[in-house]
Amino acid sequence: MRCQNDVKRTNLRHKDPFQMNSLIQIYYAQLRQKLSDVDLCAQENVLSGKGGPFAARLALFSVNEEGSRSLLTEFPHATNKVLETGIASNHAEAQSLVPETVGLLKKQLRHIKQERPKDRPIIVLFSSAQPCWACLTKIEILARQLIQEELIKPKNFVLLYGATYTDTEITAGFHDYAYALDFFNVVKDPPSEASLIQYTTSPFAQAPEHVQAAFKVNPAVTAVLTLNHRTLGLGQDRRNDQDLFHTAECTAMHEASRTLKAEGQATPWNLHGSHLYTLNPKIGPLTYSECQWAAVEHITSLSGAAPVPPQATMQYQESCDLSNRSFSALLVKGFNTPNAVTHVLHDACFANLAQKAWAQHPSHILYNGLEAGDSLTIEQKTAFNRLFCPETLPIEP
Ligand SMILES: [Zn+2]
């Protein structure tokens, strides 16, 4: 890890040092440069043949009472690991938030809180491309957790990204808009039948016998993934102080992909045709968006399982402070609103070197995700973007 103390100090003079907009106005050139570095890392990922044209990096800044800003830590660059690990959601942003990094981040934040309680820590996640719903959800889960632990203030977790969904579609050939719009189905009650994933509820006793048996092997298992009548993933809630994302459903999906990879399957991230059963009475945005990428076909919430798992409510809640229903409803209202705590920024000057290299690279393939685009109009996409990336980095005068 590269640590830099006090590499850059600039006085904010008469501006409120803790106002995010003031900070962005002053530091936009440095933020742009760091995002550009992330683009170079993504480009290297392509040129070295390691994987897709995506990279991300987490950084921790601190602002003191006088308005001097310090870059405390830049965590390691993270790249897309779908091909390497076989897990559909191992996108660059998710890789930048792995438990080891979250643990180190929390340690530093606790140190600031104890030693310099008047300083304001600000976290920036640099991403070469507009994050998908799974990654956006993870970012918001982490930000809310840090706020609940009183380690950061709301809106002091910044996401700065380069390539938009449109750029990624046109230049690199990945289709994010269809997933993004499909995500809105998760908040419908009952969910829309037009959604990519069928989400239903059922009494436990009506689940297939092999599914019931899989749950009964271990009472800690609360999610089971089956493919072609085969039990492929048993999910327990694996979350802890550092790992905020391995819910039982995600664990079951990842275990299934690991099994297929170990068996030599060429595309283990693709769980097309699979059925995810969960004791979670209402899935949240993390489960739904992870299922999108893994191409899970059907999710069923089973009710009336005996014995009822302990801590039933909190065990299934994806966000530390909201029910899954409320969390989904909050996210679809967009960012930079009073509700979501992540501050989202886009850099319209982003060079997007990595995706351009990907388009030229002889081995580039659509390794995951939808094969076709969507029927959305430019106007619909523009309206979506207004909701989800309402702010841009200042452009050079
Ligand atoms: Zn993602």
* Distance of CA 49 from the midpoint of ligand 1 (Å): 20
Residue 41: is it exposed, middle or buried by C-beta count within 10 angstroms (0-12/13-18/19+)?
buried
- Check pLDDT > 60 for residue 28: yes
Looking at the fold, whether 144 and 230 belong to one and the same domain comes out as no
pLDDT at 319: 97
* Distance of CA 33 from the midpoint of ligand 1 (Å): 22
Q: Is residue 234 part of a domain?
A: yes
Looking at the fold, whether 305 and 201 belong to one and the same domain comes out as yes
Residue 340: which CATH number?
3.40.140.10
Q: Is residue 395 part of a domain?
A: no
Distance CA(147)–CA(340), nearest Å, equals 12
Residue 234: which CATH number?
3.40.140
pLDDT at 305: 78
pLDDT at 156: 94
**What are the DSSP E strand ranges found in 217-311?**
221-227, 230-236, 275-278, 298-303
Q: Which of 223, 245, 226 is nearest to 235 (CA)?
A: 223
Token pair of 158, please?
């910044």
Q: Which residue has the higher pLDDT, 382 or 220?
A: 220
Looking at the fold, whether 267 and 312 belong to one and the same domain comes out as yes
* Distance of CA 303 from the midpoint of ligand 1 (Å): 30
Residues 6+ apart with CB under 8 A from 396: 29, 349
Choose the final residue of a domain: 271, 295, 323.
Answer: 323
pLDDT at 102: 98
* Distance of CA 260 from the midpoint of ligand 1 (Å): 21
> Does the pTM exceed 0.85?
yes
**One-letter amino acid for residue 84 of the chain:** E
Looking at the fold, whether 318 and 340 belong to one and the same domain comes out as no
Q: Which of 366, 334, 134, 374 is nearest to 267 (CA)?
A: 366
Distance CA(174)–CA(169), nearest Å, equals 5
* Distance of CA 207 from the midpoint of ligand 1 (Å): 31
Q: Is residue 393 part of a domain?
A: no
- Check pLDDT > 60 for residue 217: yes
* Distance of CA 54 from the midpoint of ligand 1 (Å): 10
- Check pLDDT > 90 for residue 15: no
* Distance of CA 183 from the midpoint of ligand 1 (Å): 13
Domain that holds residue 213: 181-323
Tally of structural domains, the chain: 2
* Distance of CA 92 from the midpoint of ligand 1 (Å): 7
